[in-house]
Amino acid sequence: MTSRWIDIPADDGGRFQGYLAVPESGSGPGLLLLQEIFGVNAHLRAVADLYAEEGYVVLAPDLFWRLEPKVDLGYVETDVARARELLGRLDIDRAVADCGAALGALRRLPECRGKIGALGFCLGGRLAYLTAARHHVDAAVSYYGTGMGPLLGEAGAIRCPMVFHIPEKDRHLPPPVREAIADAFAGRDDVQLFVYPGAEHGFNVPARAAYDKPASLMAHSRSLAVFRAALGPKYDLPALWERHTELEFATRDARATMKTMVAEPYVNHIPTMTGGVGQDDLYRFYANHFIPKTPADTKLVPISRTVGVDRLVDEMLFCFTHDVEIDWMLPGIPPTGRYVEIPLVAIVRFRGDRLYNEHIYWDQASVLVQIGLLDPEGLPVAGVETAKKLVDEGLPSNTLMARWAESAPERKA
């Protein structure tokens, strides 16, 4: 992706600036990104870059420009005080008008093609709601919007799909306000409100103490779902994943495999914690420890596939002969020549049309049993039986439970 600052003409005269992030493709649907009280700072620019990777043309307007141009604050105490002082002087209605001007500028960009959504955090969460109410957008997402209670009379003006992300412990969005938001949109199945247990205001910002990575990841996927449905773009995730695995297991080309991934990808094989983070580390892993260290007769047998908005889950049988030291699965174990079949699950996340990460799960105990390194006697583990039962649910269950027979119903004479 590329980024730059652009000029935006205000509707009452004057000009202000906005940070523009453009996807690698050079064009896409538009996204108006609305700031926290900290300005168009490093966090907001990182969000813009992220959504550009997802395929959007993102414009983050400088909405404090009438007070001070290009405010860029962090999260230390003095910056928080400065941000609150700026918020206290902000004319919200003028800021919403500036959001409308920024929408117009975004629509006029040659890179912006198709529909436009609005996304905002904190102050920006409030502004995303008001922009959806007062200007035309095709979808809107509000993260922990402040000052929402008095504004809910405008809910009826919102005609597009919308998502509200609400931290459970956010004092700006206590239960009565959450309930008021839900009531304002009662009967609207295209408006969703998600509460994040244990999360606090600002949970999406890595630089803040309130950062909650699981909540942040879940909220991003939910946001992306509403934007993909309303704006596009659409990507064929199964085709992208199948091309990636073809390059890994058939073509066996590490460099080509890496080209299917984002600039900073990662892979984690959960049972053995093998893989890599970043281009250099992951290429080193693929080129030296994965592709040449995977048995030649490896076979993937699909069992099921679930496709979401930004990820794919494959359930499969992974079959191979242990005729090479498999660095990534059995590091340090010499080849035994034994044949192995195991259930394996791959959870693959995408950004736009590239793979971002892979979490790969399998039962390591079953592998060790099948190569003769672990004696299953007296242990709650199984060998190839786990693979057989995945395919044939009619095979016996509970064979490892010594007390299973005790619960059998008595037979009547």
The residues annotated with a catalytic role in the active site are: 170, 201
Coil, strand or helix at 57:
strand
| 199 token code pair | 């999360």
Q: Which residue has the tokens 């509707």?
A: 11
Q: What single letter denotes the amino acid at residue 317?
A: L
DSSP codes of every residue in 64-97: TTTTSTT-B--SSHHHHHHHHHHHHH--HHHHHH
Give the angle 125-130-132 at the CA atoms, nearest 5°: 95
Are the beta carbons of 117 and 227 closer than 8 angstroms?
A: yes
Q: Would you call the peptide bond into 29 cis, given omega within 30 degrees of 0 as the criterion?
A: no
Closest CA to 223 of 50, 35, 354: 50
Instruction: Tell me how far apart the alpha carbons of residues 88 and 98 are, in angstroms, rounded to a whole number.
Output: 17
Instruction: Tell me how far apart the alpha carbons of residues 23 and 169 are, in angstroms, rounded to a whole number.
Output: 35
| 407 token code pair | 């619960």
Q: Which residue has the tokens 């959960």?
A: 270
75 φ, ψ to 5°?
A: -125, 15
Which helix (DSSP H) or strand (DSSP E) does residue 107 occupy?
helix 92-108
Instruction: Tell me how far apart the alpha carbons of residues 232 and 27 are, in angstroms, rounded to a whole number.
Output: 12
Q: What single letter denotes the amino acid at residue 151?
A: L
Kindly tell me the number of DSSP H helices and DSSP E strands found in the chain: 11, 14
